[in-house]
Structure 1
Amino acid sequence: MIRVDTALRPSAWVFVSLALVMLVSLDAAGELVTPSDNVVSQLNVRKGPGTNTRIVGKLRPNAYALLKGGVSSWYEVRLRDETQGFVKSSRSEIVPDLRLGTWNIQKLGHGSSKDHELVADIIEDHFDLLTVIEVMQKGGGHPGYDNLLAALGSGWGGLVTNTPRPNTGAGYAEYYAVLFRNTAVRPCDDATGLIYFEDNDGSPDGRGPDRFSREPAYTCMQVLSPSGEPTWDLMLAAYHATWSDGRDDLISSEVDVLDDVFRAMRALRANEQDLLIAGDFNLVPDELRGLVNATDATTGRGSTLNKDGERTLNLYDHILVWDRNETDELVVPAYVVDVRRRAANADTFELTVSDHLPVVGHFLRVRADDD
């Protein structure tokens, strides 16, 4: 615990305040702030940690903000519209969350430039559960995934598909992976790994219609309370849409089949209400709209980078939720996390980490299972 001397000069107070905020970071905490029961209409979000600073936003009862840090009797928060400010801790409650998302980690397993330690550090700071896209086939295995899981250490587990797609030894063939923090989530007791949606696997012996270049793969995950007790579960699929040289018509024709994938997920686990597909769809939100009946629970823009590491306007990475009303555990819609500053510069990030930025949403970790 850090004691703050309130008699410090203003300049010193600002320095200590900033230091405290940095020490209690959102990325490490993985927690949300919501108004306490004594708040009837709204909780004021102020510019600074004091009632004499201006109001910059409101937090309604049963709404949630991201915890960024704390100083004295105030929490620093970020609202859904990205407004940042402070709320009184005496009128707030902190609740644990599950940070679920997706990341296309460019050509994971190809070349020697990938900084696995930095990728692992970013995952550690921002996620509890994520689908990993573009896990490349190499020599009949997935060395990039293996190296990343090793870099994450014993606190993390992972699932990876048993074959790539297409199911060949081609250098462009990809596996799917799901990584999870062991203390926050685990595979369901009856889960049997990542299962591909039934489709032509792209091998020389492949049979039937080939609706997907890389058909989604899914599994069941069990969310855990901070004390390790099971709370609610979900079906989660990883997906990387075809690129087809950027032809929206071909990409759209593939994405149009995702409703069938949701149905297959539900059929595998009877009565499951929480169904999600997370990955790289190669379509922006306006292009996704109308192709699937699910809700795109992703906001913002700019999840891809150009060759110089500069953000484009393209939001290609998404989390789709089959029934938003049923999956009310999602309380902060997914957004793009700009982690380029973790590398020496944007160009280095694109070269050693990825040409995509991660996307993450915040779910209540403690919730009664509704299925």
Structure 2
Amino acid sequence: MKLTRMLSRYLNAAFLIVCTTLIPSLTAYASDIVVGSWNIQRLGHGSNKSFPALAAIASKVDLLAVQEVMTEDGITQLEQALEKHTGEPWSHLVSHALGENSYKEMYAFIWRESAVEYSEGAVVYLDRDNYFVREPFSAKFKSKQDNSELAIGTVHIVYGKRITDRTPEINALADYWLWMAEVYPNTPIVLAGDFNLPQSHAAWDPLKKYARPLVTQGASTLSNTPGKYANLYDNIWVERDTHLAINDAGIIDFPIMIGWDHKKSRKHVSDHAPLYMALGNSALDNATASISAFVPPETQSASPSTDGEQQMIRGNRNSNPKLFHRPDCPSYNRIAKKNRVPFASVAAAKAAGYRLAGNCP
């Protein structure tokens, strides 16, 4: 049995916090790896999952934070599928089952051994105030390119019956962020997960004092309508002044990548698309269908407008009928440069005879 599998069963939270306090960080900035986050919708439950498809998608990143893991067997099957798909070894860490009553989930990290190494500090958050239904799980990893490090936490915020059920956990993420800064000193911090609330909501204001979301446009939840996405609930957060060399970030449009419609993708893969960030000289391969949604921090708006007009509207001169796309539309960055027709507003696009693309949220 691999060391990482043994760790997943026997790690002690209090011991790990002491260890991460006493052992100094080796370097500051992780580089030249692709980091991802993905809610794989009840991974390990039932027999509908296509592990070859999951592996084809997950192999596009080097380190993946996974939410909604139902059994460790699910993440073990994914690891085996990744090794078969890529022809190289992978490893994983998994938390214990977290949740209230009879419904529980696990978190996991899975990584390509040639690019990433587990460093230290795998621990479930000690939520003394009991804010979280499923307490976040975190660990520190090292890039094998240059031995640089990053600490990444992952969480699946409770959905509940209404938005007010989610906001207490979102508010508490600011305290969790500060806790991570203490547990992983002198190390870049990343928070990835399914937050069940768009980053523009006011409940994020406490965390925004310290961190910023990488993806601020587009959507990551698959609807049953082909090509249609809704809700930017998934995200990756980094320090406001992070030293991570982020060259790209966005959403992997996996149904297009594997050639499946949304209905089949939701049934056999997930109802969420994974998010990614590319560090240093790393990048997604050219064959990966993605929605690049990285906006440099100096150009990000603290409160994006609801109609997406904080950036230029793009018409597609090659579409019939004439269609326009807001920055939050899945096909915004897929329009060939030669076919882009810029408009200052939605109203201007409509006045020119364009109409909103059907796959826009």
Q: Normalising by structure 1, what TM-score?
A: 0.62
Deviation sequence 1:81-139 (CA, Å, 0-9, x none)? xxxxxxxxxxxxxxx83111201111111111100111011111x211110111014xx
- The code of the aligned residue for 1:112 comes to S
Alignment of 1:207-356 (within 5 A): 208-225=128-145, 229-230=146-147, 232-245=148-161, 247-272=162-187, 274-287=188-201, 289-292=204-207, 293=209, 294-308=211-225, 310-321=227-238, 323-332=239-248, 334-341=249-256, 342-356=258-272
Q: CA deviation at 1:310?
A: 5.0
SS, match of residue 355 in structure 1:
coil
Q: Report the counterpart of residue 37 of structure 2 in structure 1.
A: 102
More strand, by proportion: 1
Cα distance in 2, alignment partners of residues 318 and 151 from structure 1? 25
1:132 matched to which residue of 2? 66
Q: Secondary structure at the match of 1:215?
A: coil
Which amino acid is 2:116 matched to? V
Residues 233-274 of structure 1, C-alpha deviations (whole Å, 9 max, x = no match) = 1110111101012x22221211111121122212223333x0
1:303/1:311 contact within 8 Å kept? no
Unaligned runs of 5+ in 2: 1-30, 283-361
1:359-370 equivalence runs, <5 A: 359-364=275-280
Q: Is the contact between residue 223 and residue 230 of structure 2 (CA under 8 Å) also seen in structure 1?
A: no
Residues 1:198 and 2:126 aligned together: yes
Measured against aligned partners, the alpha-carbon deviations of 1:133-187 in whole angstroms (never above 9, x if no partner) come to 11014xxxx22111111111142111111x111276x3x3111001111111111
Task: Give TM-score, length-normalised by structure 2.
Answer: 0.64
- Cα distance between partner residues in 2 of 1:269 and 1:222: 13
Q: What's the CA shift for 1:327?
A: 2.6
5 Å-filtered alignment, 1:5-20, equals none
Q: Whole-Å Cα distance in 2 between the matches of residues 148 and 349 of structure 1?
A: 16
Distance 1:167 1:282, change over 3 A: closer
Which of 75, 80, 87 pairs up with 1:150?
80
Aligned-residue sequence identity (percent) comes to 30
Question: Following the alignment from structure 1 to structure 2, what is the Cα–Cα distance between the partners of residues 309 and 133?
Answer: 24
Question: In the comparison of the two structures, how many residue pairs are matched?
Answer: 244
Partners of 1:344 and 1:268 in 2: how far apart? 42
- RMSD over aligned CA atoms reads 2.0
1:308 Cα deviation from its structure 2 partner: 4.7
Indicate the residue corresponding to 1:114 in structure 2: 49
- CA deviation after TM superposition for structure 1 residue 289, in Å: 4.3
Which residue of 2 is the match for residue 164 of structure 1? 97
User: SS state of the match for residue 210, structure 1?
Assistant: coil
1:186 aligns with 2:135: no
More helix by share: 2
Q: Which amino acid aligns with 1:179?
A: I
Distance 1:314 1:173 in 2: 24
Higher gyration radius (CA): 1
